[in-house]
Amino acid sequence: MMTLSHVARSLAFWCAAQFETVAPTSSFWRAHEVMFRAGPVMPSDLFADPSLREKGHVVAFEALAGKGEMLMTPLGGGWRETLRILPVVGLTIGDGRARVRMDAVRPAPGLVSLMWRDAGGACRSVRHVADTGEEPSHIASSLASMLGAGAVSDGPDVLVPRGTLTGSCAGYGRSSRLVRRQSRVFRISVVSGDDRLCPALIDLLTSVLLPDDWVPLVDGQQAQIALRGESIQDAMQTEGLYRREIHVGMIWDQFRSVWSPQMVAGGGWLGAQGGDIGIAPVPDEMGAGVPQEALEAMATALEMPHAYRALKTDRYGTVCRADTPDPGGSGLGGIV
């Protein structure tokens, strides 16, 4: 679910990514080190080595306490399938034999189901949830033991002595439902030891870096943004620091999401003629055995905007490149 910290990080990522396109073409900005932080400027920054007075200029993004409200959401919002993770585990079936294969190495490979119908009409159906790194031979052994009644495994193969063997493989689907719409005011603080850089950075933010209407969030959604005003906060002049602030209003949706097996598990959701049709249980009831953490990690990698994928935040919230080691000192590393 999209929290305040996720929105602050999205704003920091967006402005940092935009700055990386501006700085190379400007001799003025190439000469200054600007850091973007998802979170406040901390008192420890004044006493770190190097300190904020000695190194760089910080643009910090944080939500203002008490400056928010919940907005009305559309009525009747139901569950919708918002992402599908295809399986990388596969089956080859023929002549009473099913061979399990892995087409790629990936977390949460998928689910394998087999149905054995013997000559007398009796039917057995089994399912196996493949684990990360699991070998096809282990999956075949598990399926054969669940089928029983003469079914055996031979390496990656499942063999039955009579009747017909059918099967299928499936991945996972994410079902999401809108639960609330939130409006919040965020403060963008520009802190610098150079009194000329603060107004220059404010102008760069309002004219170039900040979007006019929508900002991409780290989960692939969009948030509406509107400028609320600027202010001068120079109470730290005695410390040799200057501060300017921008307030922006942000509106974004928060979704509840659950993962469930795709169809082979006996449930799912279909869209037909503008409506949603539920098949078998609701998504909440099908979470057993689903590798939630692995699926969420894959969803994050798939849905994060391309402009953000080369960036991360260190332990201080400062935006840096994804391949940059986490700093052991002040956290004033930055991306520029």
| Average pLDDT taken over every residue of the chain | 84
d(CA 205, CA 270): 44
The rounded distance, in Å, linking the Cα atoms of 336 and 330 is 16
H helices, E strands: number in the chain: 6, 18
Q: What's the CA gap between 12 and 62, in Å, rounded?
A: 10
Q: What is the pLDDT of residue 4?
A: 92
Confidence at residue 47, expressed as pLDDT on a 0 to 100 scale: 65
Task: Show the tokens assigned to 300.
Answer: 């994050």
Query: 258, 328, 13: which is closest to 5 by C-alpha?
Result: 13
Structure tokens that stand for 299 in this block = 């969803």
Res. 329: pLDDT tops 50? no
Q: Which residues, listed in sequence order, are joined to residue 113 by a DSSP beta bridge?
A: 127, 168
Decide: 308 and 17 in contact? Cβ < 8 Å: yes
What pLDDT is stored for residue 237 in this prediction? 61
Round to whole Å and give the CA distance between 39 and 37.
Answer: 6
SS3 260: strand
Strands, DSSP E only, in the chain? 34-38, 57-71, 80-85, 89-94, 97-102, 110-117, 123-130, 152-154, 157-159, 164-170, 172-192, 214-216, 222-232, 242-261, 268-272, 275-279, 311-313, 319-321
54 closest CA partner among 332, 336, 334: 332
The dihedral sign for the CA sequence 279, 280, 283, 288: negative
Do the beta carbons of residue 218 and residue 13 sit within 8 Å? yes
Q: How far is CA 289 from CA 111, 222, 292, 321, in A?
A: 10, 32, 9, 35
Domains annotated on the chain, with CATH: 4-70+180-254+304-321 (3.30.2000), 87-170 (no CATH)
Q: Give pLDDT tens digits for 143-192.
A: 999 988 788 999 999 999 888 899 989 899 888 888 889 999 999 999 88
pLDDT of residue 102: 94
Structure tokens at 199: 């107004």
The mean pLDDT of 201-208, rounded to a whole number, is: 93
pLDDT digits (tens, 9 = 90+) for 278-316: 554 455 555 667 888 999 999 999 999 999 999 999 888
On whether the CB atoms of residues 41 and 58 are closer than 8 A, the answer is yes
pLDDT attached to residue 238: 56
Contact 227, 217 (CB under 8 A): no
More confident site: 277 or 224: 224
Beta strand spans in 50-204 (E): 57-71, 80-85, 89-94, 97-102, 110-117, 123-130, 152-154, 157-159, 164-170, 172-192
CA 161, 167, 171 angle in degrees (round to 5)? 145
Using the predicted structure, report yes or no on whether residue 269 has a pLDDT greater than 90: no
Burial of 275 (0-12, 13-18, 19+ CB in 10 A): exposed
pLDDT per residue as tens digits for the range 60-92 = 999 998 877 888 887 767 778 888 899 999 999
The confidence score (pLDDT) of residue 308 equals 94
